[in-house]
Chains A and B, each alone.
Chain A
Amino acid sequence: MSSRNFISLCRRKPSVFSRAFATVTESSSTPTQYPIPPQNARVKPKLLTSIILNRAPILTPTPTPFERAYYAYQARLRRALFNPFPYDFYFKQGSILEHRFTLEERKRERIAFGREFGVADELDKEKAAANKAAVEQLAEQEGESEEMMPRIHPSDDARDYKSLDRKGKRNLYLLLQENEGIWRFPEGIVKKGELLHQAAQRDLLAECGEYMDTWIVSRNPIGHYRPPKKAPSSSKPQPEEVAFFYKAHIMAGQARPNPETVKDFAWLTKQEIESRVPEYYWHGIKDMLSEH
């Protein structure tokens, strides 16, 4: 839909237009009524596009103690009920791999059911010791002492808000700080005759640089926001502003915002955004951001 169509739609049905777009949750239940700027039929509204650039979670959420206990119980139940493992189908009899699997399996049995389970019933103790030594040697050769990466990245400890590796369990959003000190999402003005989603793509490149790989999710805006009207400087009526939000994902690279207009940038979670942006802006955008 072109910007011209949007304007005509806006004039015809202002009440429908203000509630028509999809938001993440049922919104518009703001605690306080903010003043809606009066419609001026003569002045065309100024259209802006704004991009909510998202880094999706890269880690699963940490299970709560209750969830851990539930998973442990279900795993124990499964271990008690599953079909016997076909050793002779998967391993050559008497191979080192089979011994390794047997040792690991006994350990898992002991963890699941207690010390009485998973006990070796070898008759020949020397042979069992030799097998164990062979398995240990194999582990050394394969380098099994690799450590798992921690779930908390160094950038979390260093409070590096520019790192894309921070807060791996959460959705992060790119916020820019203007030279005047106000935080906002990347945005830009829609040119005459330009489509909204094309403007969104162009504005993202203009504001955040071309050193990242991004994907704008849909051609539909995911929400809209009307900034509060500024005090008129002259007798000429000021055009009303409407910003349409587009969701985008970052796949690779990093933002390098234009230093002429932007002082700083940060990758923030929903809760961190609330503490930085103005309150009026927050009530306009909060329902477009994910709680995950």
Chain B
Amino acid sequence: MPLIRPTRFGRPPQIRKPLSFDSRRKLPRPPTNLQIREISPCRLSDHYHSTLSDNLMYMSYSHKTNPIPSHQREIRLRWDPSNPYSKYRKNPPVGGSQWSKIPSPPITPSTIPKLLSIQLHIMSKDALISRSNLLGVIAALRALSGESSSLSSKSINGVEIIRGKKQVGGWIRQGMPAGAKVTLKGPPMYDLISTLSEFVLPRLRDFNGFPIPPTTSSHTSYLPSSANAVKPSDVTGVVSFGLPPAAMAFWPQIEVNQDAYPKMYGMHVHFITDAVGLGAQERARALVSGFQIPFVRMS
């Protein structure tokens, strides 16, 4: 195989007109909206497209010769759409939208679950005492994700401060900064997965896998065990788990200068997939476990 030579670039075009100046940032404003895309082939993304997507389709394929009956119940008649009076009026079904009973779409090559993004979320109770205690959290998230707090790209928000939504006595105050989060998409997301599964999880003590929560319907529940999608998280295809504070020291980005951080933080990791409908969380978990993140069923 020939040695790969670095790509050679020609001369840049001559600047005829000076760029306009952004006085707030004290930087010249680029003439186009610059977006940085992939800078290298992505191993886990290739793995998804070459192996994982096929396997997920075979695993979740359901063989039905009859067409799936529509779950829409026509109790209340639809407004006549040709009538201009009722054309844009709301006509909700009786009994609500029934989000917990929507069946998942039949699996086809175009409906295989995909990983959309990963969110890391750290809450620090110390931040309620003094806002400066949030600096360690922000620094840790910046080191983990490689994002800064504000970026030129519109789709990525960088490290965001989380404020309390409600007043809960002894826990959180409304409007006060309580933590930080970062959302990763594309190649940085896959880099984070490989770091997590190759550096962090193998070094955790007494770790067999993230526990799968037990099914919600027990023998005391009046619901049948097949219709136990009663939590919104069961039908939205988001897989979440927590990492203890001890796990923070195993990330290589933090390990190199662990002393620079005031303390080690635990965090929540959310894998956001596009699986929807009944059983979406199981399909999302199958996808995430395909990236070598272990799960164990609690008995």
Residues of A within 8 A of B (CB): 1, 9, 13, 16-17, 20-22, 24-25, 56-57, 60-61, 63, 67-78, 81, 83, 89-90, 111, 150-152, 171, 217-218, 220, 222, 247, 290, 292
Contact = CB atoms under 8 A, between A and B. Distances in A.
Contact of A220 (B46, B51, B61, B260): B61
6 contacts: A70-B38, A71-B38, A71-B41, A75-B39, A90-B257, A151-B1
Contact of A217 (B1, B9, B58, B107): B58
Contact of B63 (A78, A89, A220): A220
A173 B243 CA distance: 39
B58 A218 contact: yes
A89 B39 contact: no
Contact of B39 (A22, A71, A152, A290): A71
Interface size class of B (residues with CB under 8 A): 20 to 34
Contacts of A217: 55, 58-59
Contact of B51 (A16, A56, A152, A222): A56
Contacts of B148: 83
B58 A89 contact: no
A61 B59 contact: no
Interface of B: 1, 4, 6-7, 9, 34, 36-43, 46-47, 49-51, 54-55, 57-59, 61, 63, 65, 107, 109, 148, 152, 256-257, 260
A106 B61 CA distance: 53
A20 B9 contact: no
Contacts of B58: 22, 217-218, 220, 222, 247
Contact of A20 (B4, B38, B65, B257): B65
Contacts, number: 88
Contact of A60 (B43, B107, B109, B257): B43
Given A217-B55, A247-B58, 18 more contacts: A1-B63, A9-B65, A60-B46, A61-B41, A68-B4, A71-B39, A71-B41, A73-B9, A75-B40, A78-B36, A81-B36, A89-B260, A90-B257, A218-B58, A220-B59, A222-B58, A247-B54, A292-B51
Nearest to A88: B260
Nearest to A220: B61
Contacts of A77: 34, 36
A152 B1 CA distance: 8
A110 B299 CA distance: 58
A68 B7 contact: yes
Contacts of A290: 50, 54
A68 B4 CA distance: 9
Contacts of B107: 22
Contact of B41 (A56, A60, A81, A220): A60
A57 B256 CA distance: 33
The CB with the most chain A CB atoms within 10 A, among B6, B42, B49, is that of: B6
